[in-house]
Amino acid sequence: MVNLELIRLISRASPSKIVLLVLDGLGGLPKPETGKTELETANTPNLDKLAARSVCGLSEPIGPGITPGSAPGHLALFGYDPIGTNIGRGVLEAVGIDFDLQPKDVAARGNFCTVDQTGLITDRRAGRISTEKCTELCRLLDGLAIENVQIIVQPVREHRLVVILRGDGLSPEVTDSDPQQLGVAPKVITALSLDAEKVASIANQFVARAKAILADHAPANMVLLRGFSQRPCFLTMGEIYKLRPAVIASYPMYRGLARLVGMDVLKTGTSIEDEFETLTQNYSNYDFFFVHVKGTDSAGEDGDFDRKVRVIEQVDRALPKLLDLQPDVMVVTGDHSTPALLKGHSWHPVPVLLCSKWCRPDKVSEFSESACMLGGLGRFPAMQIMPLAMANALKLTKFGA
Amino acid sequence: MVNLELIRLISRASPSKIVLLVLDGLGGLPKPETGKTELETANTPNLDKLAARSVCGLSEPIGPGITPGSAPGHLALFGYDPIGTNIGRGVLEAVGIDFDLQPKDVAARGNFCTVDQTGLITDRRAGRISTEKCTELCRLLDGLAIENVQIIVQPVREHRLVVILRGDGLSPEVTDSDPQQLGVAPKVITALSLDAEKVASIANQFVARAKAILADHAPANMVLLRGFSQRPCFLTMGEIYKLRPAVIASYPMYRGLARLVGMDVLKTGTSIEDEFETLTQNYSNYDFFFVHVKGTDSAGEDGDFDRKVRVIEQVDRALPKLLDLQPDVMVVTGDHSTPALLKGHSWHPVPVLLCSKWCRPDKVSEFSESACMLGGLGRFPAMQIMPLAMANALKLTKFGA
């Protein structure tokens, strides 16, 4: 397995640059009619040409058979143990909206939802209200103080919000109020440890106040909370790899996750072209770039095979601009598979290509699941991608005498 | 590596069904005259057709170079750490004959053997006496009591027996009396810890009494004991995977092992066809079936290449009946290799195929060692088979936010 203490010991700063391009949910499953996956269906001349100069493989984000959530999938790509490193959903959402989360804060992910007259949930997402509406409703809930604890309520996107409890002696070890199903009432939040009784009590009071305040705001007439958590403590990528890392992502959660591991967040637009332009403009300021493309995962989640194909083709068309920068190490992969056929994340291993002057290319000449299967990296844990990228950037010194 | 606590956390019950068909000792070595292994020599149209719809690979039961015994080989197939999970041979034999082993019991595997006038072993298996003869001799030894400990002696099959010590304060940490070679005397059993002195003393007294009782029963005129052990404590497959698992095996040890991990034992006949018929009849009552075929291993152990080929062909001919049930996930593999050329278990990785609607098939279109080498699963630890089967049965939820 990857040993970050070892990597920390042998890593060194150098001018060489690494670009990690993540197509979220890249891996797929073959359409029965054609026998080809999304990536195999897409016309990708630039990725194929790159694959021919690369060493390729299939990565397992967490382990065989394990379907990753977004956080563990990305932690593995950054070289962290995705099972041992636990980041709560509340923390992820908070840092993802550039909220300056303090070490003692407890954050929870929230949904505006719809409840009927008897209090039973009829829509967990309140009809996906607009971000503007969400912002307006968050303003109504923001700034309460309960038992000397300040309650900060911030909009995320559509029906999503973050609730932050700020005060002393707060423990995040409480259950969710979100039952993750319809036709039942939101659950009472309960403490999982003695320390957490204060947070449970305050959170329940907050929910009750929110219900009263939102009564006339159907469909967003209630909130659901989940993933109460505090900032985790671990080594940053700067400390482990001696890198100056930056993230380019249009979607808040990925920026937040990258910030937690010590990346600078670069302001960017929403398109792939915007993201690549941001990379170009900031190229001289960093030596590691994590570029995140969300569209592949969204299309996969929606079960839209053809749209996922189109997003991949769009990345392929934009790729030459990125390659013109001639990064010393270029990695293209995903954080997990999201096959359109499954309409969700899956356990299937993910195509990876790693191109560098020193990569020892294999015979793979096409970037696809079936071609990468026979690549020089074989089927391997995603946690190994960072050490391989570091080595190919000549940023790791010899181990042992 | 596979983390059973993680699997336990994300597994869920569902109606989908998994069939794990184990051809014991499946993997082989090529005959020099043909360059083909037993599996490659066998005419297996049904397995080949299945492989074409499957993802394939070569599994390592324990680790590279490690030749598995039957117990660790199967534990790995059930997803348990085959090195960390130690089950004694005595326990295995006891549970394999449906003996109701109690937690405090100490069990040992026994052989009736032949010793000459000077007490040296001339046949470790007493000419493989009949099971009837074994039963008769066990009756002579059963029911002794030594130092307040009850000695239960039960026949297994041919020359094999189980000896159970039942009483208080018994520790199984003692050496074997079976020297596993000819021309020497049975060894004195010695305690490996202070706690175990009582068991060593009782076991040696039992052996002495048995020698006296059996004196006139040549060739079965002595017993050899090995594998003193107590029931291990670990999570069952029901607890880990939320499965209702059942075993179909004609050979007692495999039933016993399966029972230890929580499988129901289904009554079956001795042929492959009997076993598949048992599966069909019980198909609606369980969602996981471990079907064990012994003949491949026995033929390999006997060095009978052609017989092993014939057993594989027999399985292939019977396979359509099993596939007619349309299990959601079908796995065909072995617990280890038993090449006829080596006349014994070996360390060589074992062909695996996993077929499901969601398996992402590879280019393998023949079930063989050389074809599976290039399969989508690569060369991988056998412990990963269960998580993969569970994922393909859609019985694992997402890990992490």
Report the distance separating Cα A253 and Cα B16, nearest Å: 34
pLDDT digits (tens, 9 = 90+) for A232-290: 888 999 999 999 999 999 988 899 899 899 999 999 999 999 999 999 999 999 999 99
Looking at the DSSP bridge assignments, the partners of residue A115 are A121
Residue A170's contacts (CB-CB under 8 Å, 6 or more residues apart) are A104, A105, A106, A149, A198, A199, A230
The residue among A347, A350, A363, A372 with the most chain B CBs within 10 A of its CB, best to mutate, is A347
User: CB distance from A82 to chain B under 8 Å?
Assistant: yes
Of A27, A337, A339, nearest to B357 by C-alpha is A339
Looking at the DSSP bridge assignments, the partners of residue A246 are A264, A289
- Which of A63, A109, A379 is opposite residue B378, by nearest beta carbon? A379
Chain A residue nearest residue B393, CA to CA: A65
Q: Is B211 left (phi over 0), alpha (psi -120 to 50) or beta?
A: alpha
Least confident of A173-177, A179-183, B13-17: A179-183
Peptide bond into A381 cis (omega under 30): no
CB contact under 8 A, B401 and A92: yes
Would you state the pLDDT for residue A252? 82
Of A237, A265, A240, nearest to A253 by C-alpha is A265
B332 falls in which pLDDT band (50, 70, 90)?
very high
- Which of B360, B363, B391 is opposite residue A65, by nearest beta carbon? B391
Distance from CA of B203 to the nearest CA of A (A): 45
Report the distance separating Cα B248 and Cα B255, nearest Å: 7
Q: Give percent of chain B above pLDDT 90.
A: 90
Report the distance separating Cα B385 and Cα B2, nearest Å: 10
pLDDT digits (tens, 9 = 90+) for A332-389: 999 999 999 999 999 999 999 999 999 999 999 999 999 999 999 999 999 999 999 9
> In this structure, which amino acid lies at residue B185?
A
pLDDT digits (tens, 9 = 90+) for A294-315: 999 999 999 999 999 999 999 9
pLDDT digits (tens, 9 = 90+) for A69-93: 988 999 999 999 999 887 888 998 8
DSSP characters for B143-202? T-EETTEEEEEEE-STTEEEEEEESSS----B--S--SSSSSPPPPP-BSSGGGHHHHHH
pLDDT above 80: residue A177? yes
- Chain B positions touching A30 (Cβ under 8 A) are 360-361
Residues A164-172 have a mean pLDDT of: 96
Which residues 90-109 in chain A show a CB within 8 A of chain B? Answer: 92, 109
Nearest-10 Cα torsion for B387, B390, B391, B397: -100
Looking at the DSSP bridge assignments, the partners of residue A166 are A150
User: CB distance from B9 to chain A under 8 Å?
Assistant: no
Distance from CA of B397 to the nearest CA of A (A): 7
φ, ψ of residue B22 to 5 degrees: the values are -110, 115
Question: B204 and B185 in contact (C-beta within 8 Å)?
Answer: no
> In this structure, which amino acid lies at residue B202?
I
Residues B323-333 have a mean pLDDT of: 98
- Chain B positions touching A37 (Cβ under 8 A) are 360
Residue B64: C-alpha distances to residues A303, A380, B67, B341 (Å): 40, 16, 9, 19
Report the distance separating Cα B206 and Cα B193, nearest Å: 20
Distance from CA of A296 to the nearest CA of B (A): 18
- Chain A positions touching B387 (Cβ under 8 A) are 63-66
Q: Which two tokens stand for residue A156?
A: 């995320």
Question: B32 and B303 in contact (C-beta within 8 Å)?
Answer: no
Would you state the pLDDT for residue A1? 52
Looking at the DSSP bridge assignments, the partners of residue B355 are B330
- Chain B positions touching A348 (Cβ under 8 A) are 360
pLDDT digits (tens, 9 = 90+) for B41-59: 999 999 999 999 999 999 9
- Continuous H helices in A191-236: 197-214
Let me know the angle formed at the C-alpha of B18 by B13 and B23, rounded to the nearest 5 degrees: 145
Unique residue bearing structure tokens 């941001």? A278
Q: How many CB pairs under 8 A join A and B?
A: 91
Of A150, A114, A115, nearest to A133 by C-alpha is A114
Distance from CA of B3 to the nearest CA of A (A): 9
Which residues 129-168 in chain B show a CB within 8 A of chain A? Answer: none
- Which of A37, A72, A83 is opposite residue B3, by nearest beta carbon? A83
Which residues 12-71 in chain A show a CB within 8 A of chain B? Answer: 29-30, 37, 58, 62-71
Looking at the DSSP bridge assignments, the partners of residue B399 are A68
CB contact under 8 A, A58 and B376: yes
Unique residue bearing structure tokens 């075993």? B247
- Chain A positions touching B2 (Cβ under 8 A) are 63-64
Report the distance separating Cα B69 and Cα B335, nearest Å: 9
Query: What are the percentages of helix, strand and coil residues in chain B, rounded to 5?
Result: 35, 20, 45
DSSP characters for A109-135? EEEEEEE-TTS-EEETTTTT--HHHHH
What value of ipTM does the predicted structure carry? 0.86
Chain B residue nearest residue A70, CA to CA: B401
- Chain B positions touching A342 (Cβ under 8 A) are 358
Q: Which two tokens stand for residue A49?
A: 């040409």
Which residues 178-237 in chain A show a CB within 8 A of chain B? Answer: 227
Half-sphere exposure of A245 (CA within 13 A, CB side): 25
Distance from CA of A325 to the nearest CA of B (A): 34
Peptide bond into B219 cis (omega under 30): yes
CB contact under 8 A, B391 and A66: yes
φ, ψ of residue A259 to 5 degrees: the values are -65, -35
CB contact under 8 A, B398 and A67: yes
Question: B362 and B52 in contact (C-beta within 8 Å)?
Answer: no
- Chain A positions touching B397 (Cβ under 8 A) are 67
pLDDT above 80: residue B376? yes
Residue A170: C-alpha distances to residues A22, A91, A147 (Å): 36, 14, 12
CB contact under 8 A, B388 and A63: no
Would you state the pLDDT for residue A103? 86
Would you state the pLDDT for residue B279? 98
Question: B90 and B227 in contact (C-beta within 8 Å)?
Answer: yes
Report the distance separating Cα B379 and Cα B381, nearest Å: 7
Which residues 348-377 in chain B show a CB within 8 A of chain A? Answer: 358, 360-363, 374, 376-377
- Number of helices (H), then strands (E), belonging to chain A: the values are 14, 14
pLDDT digits (tens, 9 = 90+) for B233-265: 889 999 999 999 999 999 888 998 998 899 999
Question: B206 and B163 in contact (C-beta within 8 Å)?
Answer: yes
Q: Is B256 left (phi over 0), alpha (psi -120 to 50) or beta?
A: alpha
Residue B216's contacts (CB-CB under 8 Å, 6 or more residues apart) are none
Residues A45-71 have a mean pLDDT of: 96
- Chain A positions touching B361 (Cβ under 8 A) are 30
Let me know the angle formed at the C-alpha of B314 by B311 and B317, rounded to the nearest 5 degrees: 155
- Chain B positions touching A87 (Cβ under 8 A) are 401
Chain B residue nearest residue A381, CA to CA: B1
